[in-house]
Structure 1
Amino acid sequence: MKKNIFFGLIFILTFSMNAQNEELPYSQIPDYPEDYSPGNVAARMIDGLGFRYYWATEGLTQKDWEYKASKDGRTIIETMRHICGMSETIKNAPNAAPNTGIEGLADYSYEQLRKKTLENLKAASELMKGKKAEDFESFKVIFQRGEKQSIFPYWNMINGMLSDCIYHSGQITMLRRASGNPINPKVSVFNGRLRE
């Protein structure tokens, strides 16, 4: 009986550890595409964001999540929620899917926010790869509030959410350094890899 309980606990612990260690996208940037088509360039921008976000948020502690530079500033976890919401918009644009907000985003844990954001960015990148200039005409940033829709071209995504997420990933990097937990010094954003 004790032997069965022991092996059962080992199985549960092993399963739990494997689930926690599930590899998230963007620990390194994917290989670059063969050509500079508009879709590939946009996908590469999203991949660059994913890589920066991955390392900006890797290994944060509760002390880090709660840190903010001033009483009026956002905490790191609030910044992560903001980025997560924008990552949903980035993912929805190639399909011209309306953005209504993510239900319960304020209740997401650090791990859930990080995973959702990285998965959204990976999905968005995949949707962009290989797209031609004419494909971008159908990509739309759509905000839906009740029956009202506000529709914008993909141009607004580039100077809006994509740029904003890169900016906020940099803020997280700065805030975590200020809270005493700087990012891995081996991160090379130029090469999209950890230095040896």
Structure 2
Amino acid sequence: MTDLPYSSIPHVPDEINASNVIARFVDGLGFRYYWATEGLTEKELEFRPCESSMNILEVLKHIHILASTANRTLGGGSELEGTPASFEAMRRSTLELYTELSNRLKKMDCEELSSFKARRSHSKTEYPFWFVLNGHISDALTHVGQVKSWRRMAGNPLPEGVQVFSGERVINTTSNLKK
């Protein structure tokens, strides 16, 4: 395995509160992103299911922008300086953005969380935190599902044993012994 975050989901928080629940949602997103992007080849990155859709690499760039925006809105980093040049650098950056966001959320109380405001780049209107949850974070989860589906269509399904319920990869060693 690589040294990238989210090959498994971090341990369950000790306390149930709004910030931990949202952080866990981000952790689930990070885990799904990690495995949806693990082992992608140039062939899959260029795959698009139809002529009018984005290819997988373009979807991943969009997810990176969503991760950066959610992170920035909730107190991290500054303006997006651009998409990293390579797929590997973009993948690492996206996973690190979700790790940073999750870690910061786990330290917030409800009052601090509710004080954050989202602003669309083309508007001066401010939106409450909830719009980040149903916007940037949920949209990214949808796009990760697209990547997972499209890579299967391109002939490279997820690696065996990825368990989204438990947040880990379980490799069945007994079936390997029978071969």
TM normalised by structure 1 equals 0.81
Are residues 1:111 and 2:88 paired? Answer: yes
Tell me which of 55, 69, 75 is aligned to 2:35.
55
Q: Residues 141 and 96 of structure 1: is their aligned pair in 2 closer, same or farther, counting only changes over 3 Å? A: farther
**Which residue of structure 1 lines up, in the alignment, with residue 154 of structure 2?**
179
The percentage of counterpart residues that share the same residue type is 38
Aligned counterparts of 1:42 and 1:137: Cα–Cα separation in 2: 12
Per the TM alignment, residue 74 of structure 1 is displaced from its structure 2 partner at its CA by 0.8
Q: List gaps (5 residues or longer) in structure 1.
A: 1-20
Map residues 34-113 of structure 1 onto 2, 5 A cutoff: 34-95=14-75, 100=79, 102-105=80-83, 108-113=85-90
Distance 2:82 2:71 in 1: 18
Deviation at 1:43, TM superposition (A): 0.6
Runs of 4+ in 1 over 4 A off after TM superposition: none
- The one of 99, 115, 129 equivalent to 1:154 is 129
Distance of aligned partners of 1:97 and 1:54 in 2 relative to their CA distance in 1, 3 Å threshold: closer
3-state SS of paired residue (2:57): helix
State how many pairs are aligned: 171
Give the SS at the match of 2:119: strand
Q: SS where residue 24 of structure 1 aligns?
A: coil
Q: Is the 8 A contact 2:76 2:101 kept in 1?
A: no
Verify: 1:136 aligned to 2:113, yes or no.
yes
Q: CA deviation at 1:132?
A: 2.2
- How many Å apart are 1:141 and its aligned residue? 1.7
Structure 2: which amino acid aligns with 1:104? Answer: G
* CA root-mean-square deviation: 1.8
- The answer (yes or no) to whether the contact 1:37–1:130 under 8 Å persists in 2 is no
The separation in 2 between residues aligned to 1:120 and 1:97, in whole angstroms, is 9
What is the Cα deviation at residue 97 of structure 1? Answer: 7.0
- Cα drift, residue 36 of structure 1: 0.9
Higher Cα Rg: structure 1 or 2?
1
CA deviation string 1:163-185 (max 9, x = no partner): 11111001000000000110112
